[in-house]
Amino acid sequence: MRLFTSYEESPCTGFSNQNVEFIRVLILVFIVCIFFGAPHRIATAQTIHIPDADLRVFLQLALGKEAGEDITQADMASLEVLQASRCRFLRLSEIGEWGTPIRWICQPIDGILGSDVQDLTGLEFAVNLKELHLGRNRISDVSPLKGLTKLTFLDLGFNARLSDVSSLENLTNLIFLNLKDNRISDVSPLKNMTKLIELELRGNEISDVSPLSNLKSLIYLDLQDNQLSDASSLENLMNLTHLKLKENQLSDVSPLINLTNLTHLSLQDNQLSDVSLLNTLTKLQFLDLDSNNISDVSVLRELTNIVRLDISDNKISDVSPLENLIKLRRLDLDDNPVSDVSPLKMLTNLVFLDLDDNQIADVTPLTDMRKLTWLDLDDNQIADISPLGVLTNLTYLDLDGNEISDVSPLTTLTKLTELDLDNNKISDVTPLKDLTKLQLLDLHDNHISDVTPLADMIRLKVLDLDDNQITDVSALSDLVNLIELDLDGNKVSKVSPLKGLTNLILLDLHDNEIIDVSPLSSLVN
């Protein structure tokens, strides 16, 4: 094409050279638009192939499209948030006692619990994504995500097949990354994610965490259930407030001594025997040392801000270092050789106390713990429970496996909803008759013959009377809310009083003297 270059060559008259020049510019612009603009329009209108049917459904939901409707490159580029998981993350103010700083919780989504995304092909066009939920799927290849550099939130937890995360190495704007419960052993692709605040790596195959040493913005780090024997690479992560290292192979806590901002520390199920160096962590509120080889807990004298402490399943006999932990609300001390609990008597803010499987005979020191709602004294050597009668806020009480014959001190515990008295020496349950809020009552392996005092416990859902000396069950006829009833190993001959207990799902009548079970034909559940 030859453009007019002078006034004389123009077939139009009355135009100046300036007008001709203007027309020439317009024509050039038009040509550029045709040859360069059209491909762009074609590209953005191009239909994207999404081979994974489940991923396509999630994309259609996010884009407000009908089933079968095309998804274009422009559609993908418009996405900033994509929910492609069996659950959605919700931001909460707190999640239990181990609430994360960002405080997300996964809520199942109705109707898509069977969805399993496997192939992420097509997501490479979602270049503006900031938040991507891909948890609880069957993803093994994350290479389509490698160019999504605007991502700040990425959930790939619970995929089980994912082992290679090298494609994520350029996602350096991430603040939240969930990779829990996969098959990851190499975390070096994460080494430049210096903006990360929360990192979830629980349930993988990680033995070397040195690539994480530069992630100094981390506040929350979950490495539980891996193969760590050395935590020295974590020693400079000074901003950490939450650190979970349970179910590893750690024997040395010295790398943690400078992490003085920690408020939550979990070291359960490791190989620790000496925890004295934790005395620098004075901000700790939650400390879990369950299932180690610890005998000396003197370090706890200095950790006076602790609210929840788990030192169960160790070798602790002396609990005097706990006597000044007056902020404690929950204490787990089960499965230790503790015999003297008098040092605990000042812990009057306790709400939850587990002393299961120790060597305790005297429970008098517990009398001032009036805030207790949950108390487990299972498998001890207790005969006298009279000191417990003042603990009137109890809703749960386990006294299984002791030497108790007299339960009259329990008459005042009218808030109880669960009571376990199995494997004792009880013959008279009359003192229990006013405990009408009970929903679970376990009396198996005692010397009970008369169950009349249980007649008004109409809220009971579970009743275990296994291995007693019961002959008459007529007193149970009105316990219509029962779901489970165990009468195994008694002397019952007539079962007709049970015919109205139509909510029963489990009924055990083994080892009795029953001849006719026809009255139970109505118990169709």
Annotated domain spans of the chain: 71-227
Quick check: 489 and 467 in contact, CB under 8 A?
Answer: yes
- The answer on pLDDT for 139 being more than 80 is yes
What Å distances lie between residue 94 and 91, 105, 218, 286, CA to CA? 9, 9, 19, 14
Give alpha helix (H) positions in 66-149. Answer: 73-78
Tell me which of 322 and 10 has the higher pLDDT. 322
Q: Left (φ > 0), alpha (ψ -120 to 50) or beta: where does 442 sit?
A: beta
Q: What is the pLDDT of residues 209-259, one digit of tens each?
A: 999 999 999 999 999 999 999 999 999 999 999 999 999 999 999 999 999
Q: Which two tokens stand for residue 160?
A: 């089980």
Integer Cα distance of 196 and 174 in angstroms: 6
pLDDT band at 67 (very low <50, low <70, confident <90, very high): confident
Beta strand pairing status for 87-91 and 104-108? antiparallel
DSSP 27-60: HHHHHHIIIIIHHHHHHHHPBPP---HHHHHHHH
What pLDDT score does 18 carry? 61
Confidence label for 354 from pLDDT (cuts 50, 70 and 90): very high
What is the pLDDT at residue 85? 85
- And the tokens for 384? 């006298």
* 267 to 225, 272, 501: CA distances (angstroms): 11, 8, 47
What's the predicted TM-score (pTM) here?
0.87
Chain centroid, CA 65 distance in Å? 34
Q: How far apart are CA 464 and CA 485, in angstroms?
A: 6
Instruction: State the CATH architecture for 71-227.
Output: Alpha-Beta Horseshoe (3.80)
